[in-house]
């Protein structure tokens, strides 16, 4: 009965068009009423405590780093460097998109920010070169999925807080899965464009490649600082977010001199607005998470799925299928906040490594950003690229299918995630 109250109240509020954060609060209130413990003070206290977390301080600073990166010229220089490397290859602009997405992922950790920047910079160039616009937009959207996987990742921060799992270990474990997804996109792009009639630009000289590397050098230094700093224990993920934001502002304002004082104010304002949305979601979800624990919902879910506990791989397949279905209708952050407290006891009971589960869970939620009909990244690409949503959806399909295939391959072979992760630990 408790599970029915939880699902019915949440889904009914969402179907009525209530914003996700308020739906979570209504769901929490319904659970409290069902458990005969309704108290407005408990609701308020859990909302405050939900956002009162040191690791969550990483969210606003990574948001700020992403905004500065796009405004201050870091994104453009990274794209120019990738163009100098592989722009002359047949279909090279697609490979440029994939390389740039991997580098930008190591700067911002936001799928929407990365996809918007790549769409503005590369989509017109891809269309002029003769690529199908829908396919190009689909590739850019699929590349945006890599943003929350390669560290730094806002998704990993939120999951780490909700599941009480080391954010540093999640960051390091996400590096190679992000690379595997990028390789899948690389092969898919090669296969889908092999028959297109394309115009390829001339090969850049060594001097031009070196010049592009020199201009992008400061931007390329940031991912190394973050990863090496985390690996050597120099700073925590939250401190890494501060380093990323300050370094990005220094490079954009002092080195590149493209970030003006007026733009800096607008950048802070944009980062603050996005952070407010995310943090309110987190705070509202913590109310439901606390009540889920009080109502012993995780124990009931474990009991329902107990036949699968003896087969961790089969259980992972079932969980991944569930997350795929949820991801078609819900954005990444609320999915993490709602499902994590329910699924983590099940994962621990089956003996699955929490870090491995966290990586796979975030990968699945990230792909959910390009699954219609909600698809936040699809909306971003369609808006910035001035495309129809249907065209972007059609273009992303082959890339999305390959990403799901790579994800399930990592379910079958967990060593693809954990073996390189343990080396990086």
37 CB-near residues (< 8 Å, 6+ apart): 294
Per-residue pLDDT, averaged over 405-409, amounts to 95
Share of the chain above pLDDT 70, in %: 94
Indicate if the pLDDT at residue 34 is higher than 70: yes
Alpha helices in 328-353 (DSSP H): 332-349
Per-residue pLDDT, averaged over 301-329, amounts to 81
- CA distances to 118, 189, 291, 326, 371 from 380, in Å: 11, 21, 34, 20, 13
**Cα separation, 344 vs 293, whole angstroms:** 11
**Cα separation, 387 vs 50, whole angstroms:** 38
> 24-28, 367-371, 402-406: which range is least confident on average?
24-28
- Answer for the pair 139, 191: CB distance below 8 angstroms, yes or no: no
**Cα separation, 165 vs 360, whole angstroms:** 14
15 band by pLDDT with thresholds 50, 70 and 90 = confident
Considering the chain, what is the average pLDDT of its residues?
83
**Cα separation, 293 vs 89, whole angstroms:** 54
Size of the chain, expressed as the number of residues it contains: 425
Looking at residue 63, its pLDDT comes to: 80
Per-residue pLDDT, averaged over 393-409, amounts to 94
Per-residue pLDDT, averaged over 55-67, amounts to 80
Per-residue pLDDT, averaged over 353-364, amounts to 95
**Cα separation, 358 vs 169, whole angstroms:** 10
Indicate if the pLDDT at residue 42 is higher than 80: no
Based on its alpha-carbon atoms, the radius of gyration of the chain, rounded to whole angstroms, reads 22
Looking at residue 296, its pLDDT comes to: 66
**Cα separation, 113 vs 94, whole angstroms:** 18
374 band by pLDDT with thresholds 50, 70 and 90 = low
pTM of the full structure: 0.82
Indicate if the pLDDT at residue 416 is higher than 90: yes
Give 168-178 pLDDT, tens digit per residue: 899 889 999 99
162 CB-near residues (< 8 Å, 6+ apart): 285, 289, 336, 337, 340, 341
Give 175-231 pLDDT, tens digit per residue: 999 999 999 999 999 998 877 776 677 788 888 888 988 888 888 887 778 878 877
Looking at residue 3, its pLDDT comes to: 65
Looking at residue 362, its pLDDT comes to: 94
- Answer for the pair 132, 100: CB distance below 8 angstroms, yes or no: no
Per-residue pLDDT, averaged over 344-360, amounts to 91
- Answer for the pair 368, 324: CB distance below 8 angstroms, yes or no: yes
Per-residue pLDDT, averaged over 351-363, amounts to 94
Looking at residue 1, its pLDDT comes to: 65
Give 120-154 pLDDT, tens digit per residue: 888 888 888 788 899 999 999 999 888 889 887 88
Contacts from 35-43 at CB under 8 Å and sequence distance 24+?
Answer: 35/2, 35/291, 35/294, 35/295, 37/294, 43/287
- Answer for the pair 137, 385: CB distance below 8 angstroms, yes or no: yes
Looking at residue 86, its pLDDT comes to: 79
């Amino acid at each position: 009965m408790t599970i029915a109250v939880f699902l019915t109240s949440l889904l009914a509020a969402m179907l009525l068009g209530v914003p996700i954060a308020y739906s979570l609060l209504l769901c929490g209130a319904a659970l409290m009423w069902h458990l005969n413990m309704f108290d407005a003070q408990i609701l308020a206290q859990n909302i405050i405590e939900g956002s009162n977390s040191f690791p969550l301080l990483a969210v606003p600073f990574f948001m700020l780093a992403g905004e500065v990166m796009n405004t201050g010229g870091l994104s453009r220089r990274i794209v120019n460097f990738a163009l100098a490397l592989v722009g002359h290859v047949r279909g090279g602009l697609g490979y440029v998109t994939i390389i740039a997405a991997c580098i930008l992922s190591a700067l911002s950790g936001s799928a929407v920010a990365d996809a918007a920047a790549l769409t503005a910079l590369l989509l017109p160039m891809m269309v002029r070169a003769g690529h199908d616009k829908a396919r190009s937009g689909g590739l850019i959207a699929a590349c945006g999925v890599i943003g929350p996987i390669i560290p730094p990742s806002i998704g990993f921060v939120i999951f780490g807080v909700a599941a009480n799992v080391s954010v540093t270990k999640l960051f390091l474990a996400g590096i190679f899965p992000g690379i595997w997804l990028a390789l899948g996109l690389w092969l898919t792009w090669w296969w889908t464009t092999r028959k297109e009639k394309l115009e390829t630009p001339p090969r850049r000289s060594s001097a031009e490649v070196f010049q592009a590397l020199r201009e992008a050098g400061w931007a390329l230094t940031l991912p190394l600082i973050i990863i090496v700093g985390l690996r050597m224990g120099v700073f925590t993920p939250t401190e890494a977010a501060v380093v990323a934001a300050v370094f990005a502002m220094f490079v954009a304002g002092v080195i590149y001199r493209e970030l003006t004082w007026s733009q800096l104010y607008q950048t802070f304002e944009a980062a603050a607005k996005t952070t407010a949305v995310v943090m309110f979601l987190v705070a509202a979800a913590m109310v439901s998470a606390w009540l889920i624990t009080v109502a012993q919902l995780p124990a009931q879910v474990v009991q329902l799925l107990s036949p699968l506990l003896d087969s961790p791989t089969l259980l992972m397949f079932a969980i991944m299928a569930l997350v795929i279905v949820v991801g078609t209708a819900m954005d990444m952050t609320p999915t993490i906040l709602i499902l994590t407290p329910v699924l983590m006891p099940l994962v621990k009971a089956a003996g699955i490594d929490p870090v491995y589960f966290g990586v796979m869970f975030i990968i699945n939620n990230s792909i959910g950003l390009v699954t219609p009909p909600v698809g936040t990244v699809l909306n971003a690409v369609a808006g910035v690229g001035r495309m129809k949503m249907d065209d972007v959806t059609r273009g992303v399909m082959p890339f999305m299918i390959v990403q799901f295939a790579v994800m399930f391959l990592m379910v079958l072979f967990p060593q693809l995630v954990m073996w390189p992760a343990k080396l990086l630990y």
